[in-house]
Amino acid sequence: MIAIIGLVVGVVLGLFLTPDVPLSLEPYLPIAVVAALDAVFGAFRAFLDGIFDDKVFVISFISNVLIAAMIVFLGDKLGVGAQLSTGVVVVLGIRIFSNVAAIRRHIFHA
């Protein structure tokens, strides 16, 4: 319940404040979102498994976002930013898919 409240508060904050993303950070925003999505799905799966832990969630969320952004940043500096972000998206995408599959099994018992 408190998670959904947090979600709603975040949406409202994002919509009303519409924070201006600095131009230098703009390329890393989508990848950060994908990394955050992965962390959230992982947390949800852990929650359903009964092993959810606040501290782990915070750490995995922040480290996921930071590492994904850092990889892309490094790639940009090396001139392979597009390829590296593709790689990050592929890996995170696979993780999201398998996490969602596990969540599905939990919810529908199938």
Partner 1 sequence: MGLLDYLTTHAMDEDYQFVSERRQTREEPEPRSRARIGVVGALVMALFAALVVTAAVQTSRNSVSNERQRRELVGQVDQARAQVDGDRSRLVSLTREVRRLQTQQLNNDTTAQGTLDTLRLLGLKAGTVPVRGPGVRVVADDAPGADSARNEVLDSDLQKLVNGLWEAGAEAISINGQRLTNLSTIRLAGGAITVNARSLRRPYVISAIGNKDTLPARFAETSSGQAWLDLQREVGLRLQISPVSSLRIPAAEVSLRYANQKKPGGVS
Binding site for partner 1 (CB under 8 A): 2-11, 13-15, 18-19, 21, 26, 29-30, 32-33, 36-37, 39-40, 42-43, 45-47, 49-61, 65, 91, 94-96, 98-99, 102
Per-residue DSSP letters for 66-78?
A: HHHHHHHHHHHHH
Give the nearer residue to partner 1 in terms of CB position, either 51 or 79. Answer: 51
Q: Which residues contact 61 (CB under 8 A, 6 or more apart)?
A: 36, 39, 40, 43
Give the nearer residue to partner 1 in terms of CB position, either 47 or 73. Answer: 47
Q: What is the DSSP letter of 21?
A: P
Q: How far is the CB of 2 from partner 1 (least distance, A)?
A: 5
Q: How far is the CB of 97 from partner 1 (least distance, A)?
A: 8
φ/ψ region of 104 (left if φ > 0, alpha if ψ in -120 to 50, else beta) reads alpha
Give the nearer residue to partner 1 in terms of CB position, either 71 or 79. Answer: 71
